[in-house]
A and B are shown apart, each in its own frame.
Chain A
Amino acid sequence: MKRLTSIVLGLILILSFTSQVMADETQLTVSPEKVEVGLRFQGATLNISGIVPDDAGVYIKVLSPNDAILDLSKKGKVSLFWMNVENTSVTKVPKLYQILSSRPLADLTEDQKKALGIDQDFSTVYQTAEVTKHSDSGPVRLETSEAKDFVSSMISIFKKGGLYSLNESAVKVQNDRFETSLELPANIPQEECVVTVYFIKDEKIIGTSRKTFNVETVGIVKWLNNMAIYEGPFYGFMSVMIALIVGSVIAFLFIFFDNRKKARLHARTCT
């Protein structure tokens, strides 16, 4: 057991060292390293660049952690009516999944696509996703075959929101450098995202490089997010008080203007 542990640890060390060396060799740059989400946030542009080793094809994957949760309802026909017949939650999936490349995905073998998670169907998501059905007796995990439709719908929803996308000609290679820019949608998850670059030549991976960037809320957005999550009752009280005050202030403003109008009319009739 000790031997196995030391082998695994050794492999991890070697892999992380290799990755570091490759990152240094390819001079992978991800900019900005921190995306700030404030009240005027409309999305951001992420610039990715580096050196291409040995005239290889560049395949980039941008992923958020596998921690998204999405509630989905399935409609079915009950008697004459179309009703919600199943309520589910899809978990253990990334909310952001972007694929960019300098060459067509067709240049990769099917096994490579699956292993690297670089394919137009986002097939790795189907492997990691967990779909739980909410029933009166408690949550029930769906089998992979049953879960497929829900995962597929989730991918469609994320694609529509710009969170999942594939762009085969987005990476420009000139001389021995590559560069691309990725439009991050405004609904990007607020966590650490990973940019992985694969360099592939003659169907062989000749290098991999990896960097992260952080998406963080700032200012009032951060304050309100924290309050809503950690201080729910106080946040609710504050929301109610704001509503009561604004509603009253607007009503009294209208009364004030009405009275002024009446006073003016009265003054005119007196004169």
Chain B
Amino acid sequence: MDIFFPIARMPISIFAILGMGGLVGLLSGLFGVGGGFLLTPLLMWMGIPPAVAVASDTNQIVAASVSGTIAHSRNKNVDFKLGFIILVGSLVGGSFGTALVKVLRSLGNFDFVLKSTYVVMLLFVGAFMFLESINTLRKKGQNNSAVPKESKAMRFMNKLPIKIHFEVSGIDCSVISLFLLGLLIGILAALMGVGGGFIMLPVMIYLLGIPTIKAVGTSVFVIIFTAINVTLAQSTLNHTVDVVLAIVLLIGSSIGAQFGARIGKRLPAEQLRVIFSVIVLAVMLKMFFDLVLQPSSLISLGGGH
């Protein structure tokens, strides 16, 4: 059954969109990421204009992350206090990052620097998580701890003042270090035009030492607000949010997020990290090949991530 999407200005099968939303929601519930990196290209592949795909995708992330947050909070996996401090930092960082983009653009070659940094960062995060999780899985017989051992960065952050105990995450952490991490996430998210889930999850696990499943729940909570912010901006400035498309997507993604959160609860943390790192590496490889292989057509529709 096809329906006509008013802003995308084209008819598409409602079941295809529901299926896509469901898949992305599943990832969102499992890993605490928005899923825009996957859904936007899928929507564009179906013929939806890039600007509409990006904006409507962000709108549905609001629903998927709310649904995911409720599911995770029921399992006591959302650290609202910690998430709120990171959120404040990321909102400040987002504004700073937007201004930084303007400066970098005026210096020229910004896109080149941005894309190569993105690929290197994804490679670093993906490879590090993958190797660490595999090592932990191997050593599981000797050491049953799901939380990675304390790194130099963790030790440095623990030395910063205004320390608070976060009961849900089970960590003691400085408010300043959390704010700074939020700031860093916000800057990177603004620079790279992504929601920040990809950056937030490894930061929470490896730099803050939060157990994986709690990091996923908290990350998905923070994403609600960043997605609301972007949806409002896209509607006001670009008029590209297709609310009908977003509704169909979000019905699929909210249901998918519920299943994701349930599956995530049953999977061991190391396995969850291995799957996540494989997805990060797959996205990195796709981006890398997009960059080095000559495109079939040099001129294409503009917009998108």
B residues in contact (CB < 8 Å) with A:
2-4, 6-7, 9-11, 47, 51, 59-60, 62-67, 70-71, 74, 105-106, 109, 111-112, 115-116, 228, 231-237, 239, 241, 243-244, 246-247, 250-251, 254-255, 257-258, 290-295, 297-303
Q: When chains A and B are docked, how far (Å) is the Cα of A81 from the Cα of B65?
A: 35
Q: Is the interface of B mostly helix, strand, loop or mixed?
A: helix
Q: When chains A and B are docked, how far (Å) is the Cα of A229 from the Cα of B6?
A: 12
**Cβ contact within 8 Å between B250 and A232:** no
**Cβ contact within 8 Å between B111 and A83:** yes
9 new A-B contacts at CB < 8 Å, known A40-B2, A236-B241 = A37-B4, A136-B105, A149-B299, A217-B6, A224-B244, A237-B232, A239-B59, A246-B251, A248-B70
6 A–B contacts from the bound complex (CB under 8 Å): A38-B4, A71-B303, A187-B10, A233-B235, A243-B246, A246-B63
Q: Which of B243, B258, B299 contacts A224 (CB 8 A)?
A: B243
Interface size class of chain A, counting residues whose CB lies under 8 Å from the partner chain: 35 or more
Q: Which of A73, A83, A244 contacts B291 (CB 8 A)?
A: A83
**Cβ contact within 8 Å between A80 and B292:** yes
**Cβ contact within 8 Å between B237 and A250:** no
B207 to chain A minimum Cβ distance, whole angstroms, is 29
Chain A minimum-CB-distance residue to B71: A251
B288 to chain A minimum Cβ distance, whole angstroms, is 9
**Cβ contact within 8 Å between B112 and A78:** yes
Q: Which of A39, A77, A84, A149 contacts B4 (CB 8 A)?
A: A39
Chain A minimum-CB-distance residue to B62: A243
**Cβ contact within 8 Å between B299 and A72:** yes
**Cβ contact within 8 Å between A247 and B66:** yes
Q: With contacts A74-B299, A248-B66 known, is A79 near B112, CB below 8 A?
A: yes
Q: When chains A and B are docked, how far (Å) is the Cα of A240 from the Cα of B232?
A: 8
Q: When chains A and B are docked, how far (Å) is the Cα of A221 from the Cα of B106?
A: 40
Contacts of A248 in B (CB 8 A): 66-67, 70
Q: When chains A and B are docked, how far (Å) is the Cα of A41 from the Cα of B8?
A: 13
**Cβ contact within 8 Å between B302 and A246:** no
Chain B minimum-CB-distance residue to A86: B299
**Cβ contact within 8 Å between A220 and B6:** yes
A93 to chain B minimum Cβ distance, whole angstroms, is 15
A97 to chain B minimum Cβ distance, whole angstroms, is 17
Q: With contacts A246-B251, A255-B70 known, is A73 near B300, CB below 8 A?
A: yes
Is the C-beta of A271 less than 8 angstroms from some C-beta in chain B?
A: no
Contacts of B257 in A (CB 8 A): 247, 251
**Cβ contact within 8 Å between A82 and B293:** yes
Q: When chains A and B are docked, how far (Å) is the Cα of A58 from the Cα of B6?
A: 36
Q: When chains A and B are docked, how far (Å) is the Cα of A240 from the Cα of B241?
A: 10
Is the C-beta of A27 less than 8 angstroms from some C-beta in chain B?
A: no
For A227-259 the 0/1 string (1 means CB < 8 A from B) is 011001101111110111011101110110000
